[in-house]
Structure 1
């Protein structure tokens, strides 16, 4: 169990820092940055990783039952749409708040979805998990309040900015709901892909790469057309001619690698955590990413104009999310005693 928790925390560290390089790109609109990021993230990196790391890759994929693959594909497309909305939310409300609202929503719903696949745990474990999720919910509400208070502090006389903050929070919540398809797809497809990977003589950790290949490529089938249309409609293809293209591409490639590596590491952590690993690992993974993102947001001065009251709400929200995850982890430990 301890090994699984360590891997989940490490995955969260990577996820929490993956969007930070976006702040240093130049001459790119949102559509340029995230369109390139998702193209690299959902096609190039998964294809290269799977081809190089999975022995008998073709046979592994063909070993997934058609109905399971279809369900994984649908859930993954939902996740891809949610991930795209996450990037949009970060643009509206910043790194720290964007992570807090989006990931908080993901934890609330995504931690419960694996029960549809794995079944309910014992009653004592379930009470811990539901109690922890309730505490996380309080944290999500406090984070939302922090964002609204910050917006009021910074732009008290600007109606348009208030609409943007509210719009960003709504986008983050809806995106978070859609992104829970990731948790469902992982819980559903992993057993079949694990068996196929083992039969082909792969080490245990390789299963995570196979699962992420399916999730990311299917998610990309939804996201990529959106960005192609937006780049064309808004005439933003010309932005790729900037003198900063090389630097921007390296920064965005870093985002893509960190995001994919974080997801694959989480999948391995969930496996190591045992029967309730998809729930417990998901909560630890995502809450760690929120904590890291909030620190990143503070370091990059997102909250420099916010009042002490706004920051207090943010800290309380983060504390609730951490306490909630600790409760969930304690519940999981009851199940393995």
Structure 2
């Protein structure tokens, strides 16, 4: 049951992430960097701090007790991830929600999931169990689905009837995916923060929130530096105080903030999933990324990003989405099987201990 709950959290997180950039379409009359700065402050500073304060007793004491090297490493990975997040937003701007998410996510999923397994020496142990092998297979299947979605998006733009800038956006999307994988590494680097939070009374399912706070401080740092530089270069500081009307100004702030809320919700769900997925939490990143692609492509259909392409290309993209959903279902089944086997093993171990104790008596 816990694994099913964990999988549900990952799905909700992926859907939230895949939807997060949609409200930017409601921002009118602002330069891109202005809306991006507002959503970044909400997503990468205010909400992480608020949730960390609510979920972690004595938050700043926890951080103070954490080795400086751990904080610095977590922040540094967040800074690198912030570069990727900035590139991700630009990629969506140039090649659309569907293709931008698909290409970037392909790199995020593969690097963010497989590298930690290899780096932590878990590869042999993972392949030693049937459920582990199924899990690895589901990760491979999700990568195939992501690749198919990316191929469909490439064909869409190659057919020459797209309003997006493929040649410019594709390189940015690749950079976004490579740098974005640093977030998974930052979570692993900040494990001591999580353990300190639990020791100070934080619930295990919420204990990752102070990690996110430290890591996202790195992310907001690089994004604000860029946005302020662009505001200065383009003379767009006036965006924050004026628009076509006072109503439009309020709407722009509301939509930009909503981007931040939806974006951060993915990590609320992701943090809870890490608690429930147990020994198979290494696969969280892949499942999360897969459903992010599902959501972003559905929004791409809704906003008619595919109406100018052929039916064959649309079918190819739909096939990729279906494969991603199947991969997520297989992942859940493998996790549930692993949990059942684990429970049976624990029950057998407990029964054996009782029998041994009685024999001694």
Specify if TM > 0.5: yes
**Partner of residue 254, structure 1:** 258
How does 1:1-337 map onto structure 2 within 5 Å?
1-115=3-117, 116-117=119-120, 119-120=122-123, 121-123=125-127, 124=129, 127-155=133-161, 164-190=165-191, 192-240=192-240, 241-242=242-243, 243=245, 244-277=248-281, 279-333=282-336, 335-336=338-339, 337=341
Q: Is the 8 A contact 1:270 1:280 kept in 2?
A: no
Distance 1:188 1:333 in 2: 28
Deviation at 1:325, TM superposition (A): 3.8
Q: Is the 8 A contact 1:212 1:264 kept in 2?
A: no
Deviation at 1:35, TM superposition (A): 2.1
How large is the Cα RMSD of the aligned pairs?
Answer: 2.2
Q: State the structure with more CA Rg.
A: 2
The 1:69–1:275 alpha-carbon spacing in structure 2 relative to 1, beyond 3 Å, is: farther
Deviation at 1:327, TM superposition (A): 4.3
SS in 2 for 1:232: helix
Distance 2:264 2:159 in 1: 36
Deviation at 1:261, TM superposition (A): 1.9
Q: Is the 8 A contact 1:122 1:335 kept in 2?
A: no
SS in 2 for 1:276: helix
Distance 2:147 2:293 in 1: 14
Distance 1:282 1:229 in 2: 32
Distance 1:56 1:152 in 2: 55
Q: Is the 8 A contact 1:117 1:187 kept in 2?
A: no
The 1:135–1:170 alpha-carbon spacing in structure 2 relative to 1, beyond 3 Å, is: farther
Q: Is the 8 A contact 2:92 2:101 kept in 1?
A: yes
Worse-superposed segment, 268-277 or 237-246: 237-246
Q: Is the 8 A contact 1:113 1:183 kept in 2?
A: no
Q: Is the 8 A contact 1:108 1:136 kept in 2?
A: no
Distance 1:52 1:141 in 2: 39
SS in 2 for 1:122: helix
Distance 2:206 2:148 in 1: 39
- TM (norm. structure 2) is 0.84
Distance 1:117 1:65 in 2: 21
Distance 2:135 2:111 in 1: 12
Deviation at 1:107, TM superposition (A): 1.0
Distance 2:142 2:61 in 1: 41
The 1:333–1:169 alpha-carbon spacing in structure 2 relative to 1, beyond 3 Å, is: farther
Q: Is the 8 A contact 1:208 1:265 kept in 2?
A: no
Q: Is the 8 A contact 1:41 1:256 kept in 2?
A: yes
| Paired residues, number | 330
SS in 1 for 2:40: helix
Q: Is the 8 A contact 1:19 1:255 kept in 2?
A: yes
Deviation at 1:284, TM superposition (A): 1.7
1:142-165: per-residue Cα shift (whole Å, max 9, x none)? 222212221233538xxxx67x21
Distance 1:326 1:188 in 2: 29
SS in 2 for 1:6: helix
